[in-house]
Amino acid sequence: MYGYSGKVLHIDLKTKKNWVETKPEEWYKIYIGGVSMASRLLWENIVPGCDPLDDGNPICFANGIFTGTPVPVGGKFGLASKSPLTGFIGDSLSGSWFSIALKRAGWDGMVLHNSCDRWTHLFVDDERVQFNDATYLLGKGTFETEEAIREKLGDEQIRSCTIGTCGENLVRYANVTNDGRQAGRTGHGMLWGHKKLKAVSVRGTHGVKVFDPKALNQLSYDISKSAQGKDTEKYRIFGTSTGLLNTNKLGVLPTRNFQEGVFEDAELVSGEYLDKHHKVKVIACAQCPIACEQMSMVKTGPFAGAMTGIEYESLFANSSNLGISDMRAAIKLITISDHDGMDSITMGVTIGWAMECYERGVLKKEDFASKAHPEGLELNFGNGDAAVAVAEMIRDQEGIGKILSQGTRIASRMIDEERGTESFKWAVNTKGLESAGYDARSLKTFALGLATGTRGGCHNRSAAYDPDMKGETNRLTVDETRGRVAADSEEYAAVYDTLPLCKFIRRCFTGKADRAGAWPAIANLINATTGWDFGYDEVDLIGVRACTIKKSFNIREGWNEKDDDLPWRWKHDPFTKGPGANTVVTDEELEYMKKLYYQAKGWTEEGLIPKELLIKLGMSDVAEQIGV
């Protein structure tokens, strides 16, 4: 088999035994890699219905089809477990060298079962598996842990996935970090911490065999050359943060916990301001010719020396969403999340919820008391110093940080039950996952994509904000096209997440980012790698199957139509200014669009999947369990 080894490594963290599972080529043609393969491995290995923190919830890695080859932006892996934050599928992607090491070690995937009996550093050295004591790593941040492992093992080529102190302390939205990148959302780090798994390291010394190296090299060269042109220029110069001024102009930039979509100080927290005042260098993921990550540093003030990579999603959550116009405070907040290992979006949105609770009188100054601030904090919007202090309380599980470490869904329930309040009305999450940096009240197709998304409030899994923001739809109204548009956008994104390829490469195949422009080129890459005979239709089915296996997982775990919902605020609390003023997504609009979406997917009116459709997609065993 070309492009794959045909092998998945299974490791029992409790018994310290391991075994190899071989997969047939037809299985790979259906699930390919990335989030789709990781989700399929989770489907096969989880104990259905288990609590996310039970031993029956495994950790599933899946490599990409192009990992370790010359294909640009193909150095990614998928990670899947049942999410501690949502209770549904927790699928994440991360780029860089860990995935290449895993591929060169000979593994298409890896499944970790059960839990460790003590803090463990797992080391996969080609075919050998070692369980090392991780006590010396406890208390170290994510980057520090990676460096400590390389120093101890004496090899700079060893690549690691790690958790920081947030994972050790069981912050519910802790993440997993590798090479400065994160499998950032849905709480993987909490699961690893619960399993006492501090790090997974890999050293791979084998090559990757492809079907037609000459053709693959030429195709890859052409794409890399295109990736140095105009279609990626804004990402190379300013990174993703360049989008902040545009979302503000459109009136969808989350501001003061999603109360508004326009931030008066947007220019002070923009990608352009970051580039001028704080950027120190740019960094690329493995196999990437674009290099979009903007490494930025605080140079003055109390947070001087704080430095990390800044992306749009992290930036909105910790600047405009908190009413913070001081870029230095935003960089410090993101540095805490990256170095200590928690999702910067959920952290920022949760602090924003707490700020609104404070301003409404639900939470008091004394509620934010800590050792560093025994009299408490005045957590008004715009108070960067207080926001940083609260982020540290979340990391350390200190005081109210224990509640805030649960995310907005659980935290609001706890506070409302204790105090008889209604803070759930400004807890902005979908299925328990805090919403990303596009306020969907005036992006109604995207609102549908978020409501129906299997992962929750995620901009990566639904690309439906794109047609809304580009004017391809009337984003302030609904009509009969929205179900099809949302379904197509989701499946389009899932192709990239399954291969996986970074979506920033989408215009670099032919200059057009649509299916007609990208799918034939992607088929050529697949065929040169594997020797298969994929065409347009086979590439399109990659996305359909990825969405289907994730949806099937959620159904088996107890999903029902009521779970496809939006935050209360987006349905009842309109903006007061900007292009989307006085707009909400009503319950009636949402229900109408949901029916159209289910119909476009070929599902029942209740959102269940017919057996016939699952069988047609090559998922007969799934059909037997959840098909109708």
Which CATH number does the domain housing residue 29 bear? 3.60.9.10
For the chain, the average pLDDT equals 96
Q: How confident is the model at residue 242 (pLDDT cuts 50, 70, 90)?
A: very high
Average pLDDT over residues 250-262: 98
Residue 351's domain comprises 240-430
Whether 283 and 393 map to the same domain: the answer is yes
- Whether residue 417 is contained in a domain is answered as yes
Closest CA to 190 of 73, 60, 342: 342
The per-residue pLDDT for 70 is 96
Last residue of a domain, one of 174, 203, 232: 203
Whether 287 and 196 map to the same domain: the answer is no
* pLDDT tens digits, one per residue of 568-627: 999 999 999 999 999 999 999 999 999 999 999 999 999 999 999 999 999 999 999 999
- Whether residue 11 is contained in a domain is answered as yes
The per-residue pLDDT for 95 is 87
Return the number of other C-beta atoms located less than 10 Å from residue 364's C-beta.
13
CB 40 within 8 A of CB 191: no
Sheet-wide strand order for 307-310:
279-283, 293-297, 307-310
Average pLDDT over residues 306-318: 96
Whether 422 and 455 map to the same domain: the answer is no
Whether 384 and 475 map to the same domain: the answer is no
- Whether residue 223 is contained in a domain is answered as no
Whether 474 and 493 map to the same domain: the answer is yes
Last residue of a domain, one of 385, 401, 430: 430
Strand, coil or helix: what is 155? coil
Whether 246 and 337 map to the same domain: the answer is yes
The residue among 287 and 556 whose pLDDT is bigger is 556
Measure CA 409 to chain center. Answer: 18
Tokens 């050359």, residue located: 225
- How many domains in the chain? 3
The per-residue pLDDT for 149 is 98
Contacts of 185 (CB under 8 A, 6+ apart): 90, 92, 173, 175, 343, 345, 346, 433, 455, 458
Whether 143 and 254 map to the same domain: the answer is no
As beta bridge partners, residue 279 has 296
Whether 416 and 468 map to the same domain: the answer is no
Last residue of a domain, one of 408, 430, 452: 430
Whether 422 and 503 map to the same domain: the answer is no
CATH, residue 483? 1.10.599.10
Cβ-count burial 261-284 (b if 16+ within 10 Å, e if not): bbbebbebbbbebbbeebbeebbb
CB 327 within 8 A of CB 266: no
Whether 426 and 288 map to the same domain: the answer is yes
Whether 366 and 266 map to the same domain: the answer is yes
Give the dihedral sign, CA 499/504/507/510: negative
> Would the pLDDT of 231 be above 90?
no
Whether 348 and 461 map to the same domain: the answer is no
> Would the pLDDT of 267 be above 90?
yes
